[in-house]
Amino acid sequence: MRPAHYESTAVRVEKIVVGPYENNAYVVRCRRTGEAVLVDAANEHELLVPLCRALGVRRVLTTHGHFDHIQAVEACRNAGIDVGVAAEDAKMLPAYDFVIDDEDVIEVGDLRLRAIHTPGHTPGSTSFLLEGEPLLFTGDTLFPGGPGNTIFEGASFDEIIASIDRRLFTLPADLLVLPGHGLDTTVGTERPHLQEWVDRGW
């Protein structure tokens, strides 16, 4: 069995780093029922699909539609795993099964993942808060040291700053931030630096 990235009495989270851009994909599993979701079917479907089957993954929650986060979407759907994405990014995917709206609650066994619309990196960028646990999956919206890139079409630096400030930095300081690439951080670690990011412009 792979080592857990995070574990409590209620949940086990596995982090899988895939593809040339070293994307983080996360399996979030209810320990009581065995039900699970995959956050971002990013790449390496030959690894992710068997892992999803073994761990009881029924759905994929897509943080945003950039190509490096969706390379395994078709393979997951072909394996009978439903794929969800925000409406604003839906056209960026080859196909999908359900739309994720702001404040939707996705139940995974006993777990509840709340969708938080955080536009800026893409129009449909979405973070997922695991209620009752100190876990926040931010995709490419928030990283250690600042916001995600906003040079792409449809991106907005002002929007991503507003999303981080109003939607994420209002959450508890001890929340563990699990981003779409790289290492974890916490809300409390990043929050004091918001003005620095605004001043530098990225």
DSSP 2: P
Q: What would be the CATH architecture of the domain defined by 6-200?
A: 4-Layer Sandwich (3.60)
List the domain boundaries for the chain. 6-200
Structure pTM?
0.97
Mean pLDDT, contiguous 10-residue spans, the chain (202 residues) = 91 97 98 98 97 96 98 98 98 97 98 98 98 98 97 95 98 98 98 97 88
Helix (H, G, I), strand (E, B) or coil at 36: strand
Q: Please state, as a whole number, how many other Cβ atoms lie within 10 Å of the Cβ of residue 1.
A: 7
Helix (H, G, I), strand (E, B) or coil at 34: coil
Contacts of 195 (CB under 8 A, 6+ apart): none
Whether the CB-CB separation of 160 and 119 falls below 8 Å is answered with: yes
